A and B are shown apart, each in its own frame.
Chain A
């Protein structure tokens, strides 16, 4: 895995993928050591019986927000020298897609005790039955693709 073509959404031309693998390994280690991939921790969060998960999400958002503020203020550029542009999330009408899609995602998150990143981390940790959950998530993605024209989004 040396390089791959990337197009409109990233830097054109050839780009090494190793840096993304490294960021991923970092995330996988932190997810595992902080136990955010644990079904027990997610239950504790949804039962409001520990500050652990709220502290993690809150401090991650705080550090991310300060970072974005600094990137904007300093007009920081990528390592390639390209300007960094952050797209706004689409906001249209009553934004049904976020309410309904978010609610359905939350049902899955509450049952499974894992969101997309942790699904991969759990598979790496040897909880191999999560491969079935990953396959089911792909079927979910595929069926959403088919149903999309018929679902309320705005």
Chain B
């Protein structure tokens, strides 16, 4: 199988997980900095928003390395979509998940996220607004309240055996299970 065709296939967990884990030593060795992405939200607020609370009154240029990192992530997504897109139209989720989501009324299964929810048109619907806008709001509010997100706590914090990070990850899962089992069924 030609190389491009081969790496265009979805990558299994045992390839992707270790590669993500290697970002921890990579950042430490090239810069001495800990892995963590949600602080970039503070950098962006510090750089742009007026009337800043104390949390955001700092020199955003101190976070320019983080802003470069998240800009790179967007670029990596773009390059993947252009050069090595998934040859299949749908993400190969388990039959049980597909059946559950169909039971909730989901009809579109192509792409990385269902277009039925994630489109500009659906912003005007209750489900679209709650998922896209309130969901994004809580990701921002919660990650800064907990002082970290999936990268800073679930990966960096757990890898560094931090008990506070374990508490945060338990919180992440409690919230995610609530959203999945109680809120989404009422919305979709």
Q: Do A and B come from one complex?
A: yes
Residues of A bordering B, CB below 8 Å: 1, 4-11, 15, 17-47, 49-65, 67-68, 70-71, 76, 78-80, 82, 84-91, 95, 97-117, 119-130, 132-146, 148, 151
B172 touching A106, Cβ below 8 Å:
yes
State A78–B29 Cα separation when bound (angstroms): 4
Contact A109 B171, beta carbon cutoff 8 Å: no
Contact residues of B: prevailing secondary structure: helix
A50 adjacent to B80 (CB under 8 Å): no
A67 and B27 alpha carbons, distance in the complex (Å): 11
- Check B77–A102 contact: CB distance below 8 A: no
| Interface pair A25/B41, CB less than 8 Å apart | no
A125 in contact with B65 (CB, 8 Å): no
Q: Which residues of A contact B100 (CB under 8 A)?
A: 43, 47, 49
Other A-B pairs beyond A63-B24, A129-B122, 6, CB < 8 Å: A10-B31, A39-B112, A76-B29, A103-B171, A110-B184, A134-B136
Give Cα A142 to B27, complex, Å. 27
- Across-interface contacts of A145 in B (CB, < 8 A): 42, 45, 52-56, 144
Contact: B31 with A78, CB < 8 Å? Answer: yes
Is B77 touching A122 in the complex (CB atoms < 8 A)?
Answer: yes
Residues of chain A within 8 A (CB-CB) of B150 are: 57, 109, 115-117
B55 surroundings in chain A (CB, below 8 A): 144-145, 148
Q: How far is A8 from B7 in the complex, measured between Cα atoms in Å?
A: 40
Instruction: Give chain B residues whose Cβ lies under 8 Å from the Cβ of A103.
Output: 142, 171-172, 174-175, 178
A-B pairs, top 5 by smallest CB distance, nearest first, are: A24-B72, A28-B76, A106-B175, A102-B171, A110-B179
Asked if A108 and B145 sit within 8 Å, CB to CB, the answer is: no
Given contacts A10-B32, A39-B112, A109-B179, contact A136 B76 (CB under 8 A): no
Distance to closest chain A CB from B141 (angstroms): 4
Query: What residues of chain B lie closer than 8 Å to A79, measured between beta carbons?
Result: 29-30
A10 surroundings in chain B (CB, below 8 A): 31-33, 62, 65
- Find residues 126-150 in chain B having any chain A CB closer than 8 Å to their own CB: 130-150
Closest A residue to B128 by CB, please name it. Answer: A129
Interface pair B169/A102, CB less than 8 Å apart? yes
Contact A89 B157 (CB under 8 A): yes
Contacts of B136 in A (CB 8 A): 108, 112, 119, 130, 132-137, 140
Q: Contact: B163 with A133, CB < 8 Å?
A: no
